[in-house]
Chain A
Amino acid sequence: MTQVINIQPITRIEGHASIGIRLDDNGNVEDARVNIMSLRGFEKFVEGKPAEELPRIVSRICGICPWMHHLASNKAVDGCFGVTPTPAGRLLRELMQTIAHAEDKLLHFFFLAAADFVIGPDSDYAVRNVIGIAKANPELAKKVVQTRQKAKMILDRFSNKAIHPIAGVPGGFSKPLLEEERRDILAKMREILDFALFTIDFAKKDVFPKYMDAIQTLGVIKTGFIGTVDDQGAMNLYQGKIRLMKPDGTFTEFEAKDYLDYIGEHTESYSYSKFPYARCWNEGFSMDLENPKGIYRANTLARLNVADKMATPRAQAELEEFREAFGRPAQATLLYHYARLIEEVYACERAIEILEDPAITDPDVRTKVEPRAGRGVGCVEAPRGTLIHDYSTDENGLITRANMIVGTTHNIGPMNMSVSQAAHALIQNGKFDEGILNRIEMAVRAYDP
């Protein structure tokens, strides 16, 4: 009789998903899937709403990365209404975006992922979590909590609302940055950069070396990659061209507004979420482990792979070391964690650069907007991948049509593949235990869905 293993819910991720593994009569894996369990339907219920209200509605797609939805939405509405934000408005948006990235990566690495490495993948589930880390290493835990809180409270105090933000507005930003606020935030970001550098050194010395075997094998698949780069080919989190790389490292670039020519969304009967794929490769969609078609990945490892370089010095040095060890494009799934810590360094450095730009305190933060008929595509790099909001408006500026491709969804196909790879490799002849099931989940957690 076939046996079904339900790993439900997948834990220490954001959102609702489960893994179903079906074993054949001999106890070997027949198939393994990731079910995405929820659907809310933002694409429908934003219709008819005044476009300028959308940045405050669609932020609720994700409470972990609300800034990215808020900002992609603001950019899309700018496009509908045909306005360009003032320079200070644009800089303030990017500042919020980079600090939110810096906060998010600390949250993911320490609160969600680290327990698998620091406490150990086979340890008792009751202590394999951030609470276990806090008890085992209270000093580190306190430092992590304080630093993450520092980043979060910068956003909270300056923008007045960090979870489901409100300060981005069509045309720019709702309030200027005062000089004394600038100095205060700059000092704090320098401290957070120090912690980012400590974290990556700590991980390179005390965490990753112990798990090199797992890094080389767990959930490893071969795919293409997607991410945003600037005109010089350096990684950018806020603005630029989208670069889509094939598994062999060759790539094409396109403007976000042309995304429909490059990206399609496939559906499967077992997942509410759709499966974005590279429609422009003209090879269809397949998650076959030996011969995948149309599959690319997004999020940290993908952004690093597609970029020629990092635009800030410390992050560039880290990227060079990373590339020296793992090549380009690096395919090993657990390297997402390593790449995340390099991006953490970049986000802190970039926030400091923005804060040192005199234009950041210019009080002219918002261009006046007038509702009109139009279309706008807004794109930013969310922590979990390239995020696209595409709206059309009628002559009163009410939404007539909305389409969104959310960062995490680019990785739904790859996550299914990594889970299938891990399950096939780890479960044989009906033998499995809690540690093995957790390792299969680790193949999902790397993608930070």
Chain B
Amino acid sequence: MPVKVASEWLNSCAGCEISIVDMGERLLDVLQVADFVHLPALMDHKYFGQLGDGKHIEIPEADVGIISGGIRNEEHLEIAGEMRKKCKIIIALGTCATHGGIPALCNSYTTDEILERYYTTESTDKMEAFPSEGIPPLLDACYALDEKIGVDIYLPGCPPHSDHIFRALTALVEGTSPKLPEKSVCDTCPTVRKGKGELKQMRRFLQPPEYGAADEPLDQMRCLLEQGLLCMGPVTRAGCGGDNVKPRCISARVPCRGCYGPVRHNGNQLLDMLNALASNGIDFRSLPERKSLLRFSGAHRLLRPAAAK
């Protein structure tokens, strides 16, 4: 019997859903064994019934519930609760769902500060009150899913590689549980590391790293961190390149920014990175700014408004 799947997106950008589509022809294979009962991105099932006369949000029962995005408003909270109630297994898909992701950068500010700026930009007409009619009130912060509902499987990544999504869905159809490696990006990065050097300062990514000819393989380029460029590889979970592929950003000669979240679920990318720099004798004050180190994992109260600290 096909596995019933319900899918939802909350405080998200649709990138995770596009990564599902990026399975390509494998998606057609998945559709043979998975029966999607709710999927707003591609299907027309409605919360309040197909005639729009229901009183509460209703999602059909499913074996597997996939949720992307964090929880930022009361509607997200209600949908997440309904998904938990109706689905046997909940997958947190993508770093917004597992750790807040980029939108959780808002956690450095109060909700009023966020609204105040958005509704007073140079192009915005003066207004009397923030919108509030028929739209869900914002919560005080952007939360990872597991701060509000139970999560069974974490599939981080911004977005998660479609190879991983395919493997996870296949495992669930077969009744097994997908396993994620607890390795760092550095563990899978082929660049050349020579160990502790003379480096004392980090420099900003304003010019290309040093490497030879345009087609020089990655395993001949010096590690970007050892070149003095901040690279979040040491404190970031491996996997962005999918099956047997090298880290994506470093392959483009660009340093990692941490999009798969911390190596261990409860890690702190900011503290771990500052420790890594300090233990190599690098002055972390040479970084232009530090909150960005939590740009993918600012939920779980790691980023907070200045006044609340």
Contacts of B253 in A (CB 8 A): 174-175
Taking a contact as CB atoms closer than 8 A, the residue among A16, A35, A41, A274 that contacts B106 in the complex is A41
State whether A159 and B252 are in contact (beta carbons under 8 Å apart), knowing that A38-B73, A368-B207 are contacts in the complex: yes
Taking a contact as CB atoms closer than 8 A, the residue among A38, A152, A397 that contacts B22 in the complex is A152
Taking a contact as CB atoms closer than 8 A, the residue among A52, A149, A271 that contacts B206 in the complex is A52
Contact with A along B43-75 (1 / 0, CB 8 A): 111111011111000000000000000001101
Does A35 lie within 8 Å of B123, measured CB to CB? no
Taking a contact as CB atoms closer than 8 A, the residue among A33, A111, A148, A263 that contacts B123 in the complex is A263
Q: How many residues of chain B have a CB within 8 Å of chain A?
A: 86
A53 at the interface (CB under 8 A from B): yes
B259 at the interface (CB under 8 A from A): yes
Does A141 lie within 8 Å of B28, measured CB to CB? yes
Contacts of B121 in A (CB 8 A): 43, 265, 403
B199 at the interface (CB under 8 A from A): no
Closest to B127 in A: A267
Taking a contact as CB atoms closer than 8 A, the residue among A33, A107, A265, A437 that contacts B51 in the complex is A437
A122 vs B122: C-alpha distance in the bound complex, in angstroms?
A: 44
B14 at the interface (CB under 8 A from A): yes
- Tell me the smallest distance from the CB of A114 to a CB of chain B, in Å: 11
The residue among A3, A164, A264, A371 with the most chain B CB atoms within 10 A of its own CB is: A164
A12 at the interface (CB under 8 A from B): yes
- Tell me the smallest distance from the CB of B216 to a CB of chain A, in Å: 11
- Tell me the smallest distance from the CB of B7 to a CB of chain A, in Å: 12
Contacts of B262 in A (CB 8 A): none
Does B206 lie within 8 Å of A41, measured CB to CB? no
State whether A403 and B75 are in contact (beta carbons under 8 Å apart), knowing that A35-B135, A175-B252, A370-B206 are contacts in the complex: no
Contacts of B24 in A (CB 8 A): 145-146, 149, 153
B18 at the interface (CB under 8 A from A): yes
Taking a contact as CB atoms closer than 8 A, the residue among B13, B123, B259 that contacts A264 in the complex is B123
Contacts of B106 in A (CB 8 A): 40-41, 44-45
Does A41 lie within 8 Å of B44, measured CB to CB? no
Does B28 lie within 8 Å of A107, measured CB to CB? no
Contacts of A282 in B (CB 8 A): none
Does A131 lie within 8 Å of B31, measured CB to CB? yes
State whether A41 and B131 are in contact (beta carbons under 8 Å apart), knowing that A50-B292, A64-B14 are contacts in the complex: no
- Tell me the smallest distance from the CB of A23 to a CB of chain B, in Å: 11
Does A178 lie within 8 Å of B215, measured CB to CB? yes
**CB contact list, A356-383 vs B, under 8 A:** 363, 366, 368-371
**CB contact list, A142-178 vs B, under 8 A:** 142, 145-146, 148-149, 152-153, 156, 159-164, 166-167, 169-171, 174-176, 178
A27 at the interface (CB under 8 A from B): no
Does B136 lie within 8 Å of A37, measured CB to CB? yes
A260 at the interface (CB under 8 A from B): yes
Does B16 lie within 8 Å of A63, measured CB to CB? yes
The residue among A60, A285, A433, A438 with the most chain B CB atoms within 10 A of its own CB is: A60
Taking a contact as CB atoms closer than 8 A, the residue among A14, A146, A272, A369 that contacts B135 in the complex is A272
A178 vs B257: C-alpha distance in the bound complex, in angstroms?
A: 26
A321 vs B73: C-alpha distance in the bound complex, in angstroms?
A: 47
Q: Could you list 28 examples of A-B contacts with CB < 8 Å?
A: A7-B46, A9-B40, A12-B41, A15-B14, A37-B75, A37-B135, A39-B114, A44-B106, A44-B109, A44-B113, A45-B106, A48-B291, A111-B21, A111-B42, A145-B24, A148-B21, A163-B18, A163-B22, A166-B257, A169-B254, A264-B125, A265-B123, A267-B131, A269-B129, A270-B131, A368-B207, A403-B121, A405-B123
Point out residues on B near A: beta carbons under 8 Å. Answer: 9, 11-19, 21-22, 24-25, 27-28, 31, 36, 40-48, 50-54, 72-73, 75, 101-103, 105-106, 108-109, 113-119, 121-125, 127, 129, 131-136, 138, 158-159, 204-208, 214-215, 240, 248-249, 251-254, 257, 259, 288-289, 291-292, 295
Closest 6 CB pairs of A and B: A63-B15, A41-B114, A63-B13, A160-B252, A149-B24, A44-B117
What 14 new A-B contacts, CB under 8 Å, besides A41-B106, A41-B117, A169-B205? A7-B52, A8-B48, A11-B41, A40-B11, A44-B117, A49-B291, A52-B205, A63-B17, A175-B252, A259-B123, A264-B125, A267-B127, A269-B131, A396-B288
